[in-house]
A and B are shown apart, each in its own frame.
Chain A
Amino acid sequence: KQEVTQIPAALSVPEGENLVLNCSFTDSAIYNLQWFRQDPGKGLTSLLLIQSSQREQTSGRLNASLDKSSGRSTLYIAASQPGDSATYLCAVKGRTQGGSEKLVFGKGTKLTVNP
């Protein structure tokens, strides 16, 4: 059974700092990995999608890497801003025992960027 772990559970940094969020998963047989952010009480916003054959994806100040063989992904945020404060969720898509595909989420990292 796929399990996704995110470390740390919470992170507080001063504005302008570069930071890394970590995600690990137990089953490397994945189709892809997706990073989301979620503001309190809101839906999920997709940030980056990395296919299993890819090593990294970039969007603006965000860079996500994937090492499928070791079951790890990182989300790098450059020059953090207070508006980046949110919970960041990592999710992997794999095949279930029933043969279907679904996202399995980590519990998230709550990021606070202080002005």
Chain B
Amino acid sequence: DTEVTQTPKHLVMGMTNKKSLKCEQHMGHRAMYWYKQKAKKPPELMFVYSYEKLSINESVPSRFSPECPNSSLLNLHLHALQPEDSALYLCASSQDYPGRPLYEQYFGPGTRLTVT
């Protein structure tokens, strides 16, 4: 099974709201990723977790807060977003571990976020 699941599929939130995106995989992968994708653009990396520790933060604004509660789950907490944060948010996972970045990344279906 090479499935990464994401919830919700769609989310509409106001600029003062707090919401969370969730991602889950049961492939035993120890690397998990958050990407942001705007229309007609490639995905942009936001965060990487390796063995439940944040290993990469691509200078993402603090209104995005990632969390990795365990090896199967990845959350992205959203607070005080701007309309320009509207995008498709993609989660991915892989078997990569430090020193062995040789594996496929598997992506979830994404959460379509609209900030009003």
Taking beta carbons and an 8 Å cutoff, which residues of A are in contact with B?
Answer: 31-32, 34, 36, 41-46, 49, 51, 89, 91, 93, 98, 100-103, 105-108
Q: From A41, A45, A93, give the contact of B107 (CB < 8 A).
A: A45
Once the chains bind, are B43 and A44 in contact (CB under 8 Å)?
yes
Q: Which A-B residue pairs are the 10 nearest by beta carbons?
A: A105-B42, A101-B101, A44-B107, A43-B109, A43-B107, A49-B104, A43-B110, A31-B101, A46-B104, A100-B56
Task: Report 12 cross-chain contacts, Cβ distance below 8 Å, ordered by A residue.
Answer: A34-B105, A36-B107, A41-B110, A42-B109, A43-B6, A43-B110, A44-B90, A46-B107, A100-B48, A101-B96, A102-B45, A102-B56
Interface secondary structure of A, over-half rule? strand
Taking beta carbons and an 8 Å cutoff, which residues of B are in contact with A?
Answer: 2, 4, 6, 41-43, 45, 48, 55-56, 88, 90, 92, 96, 101-110, 112
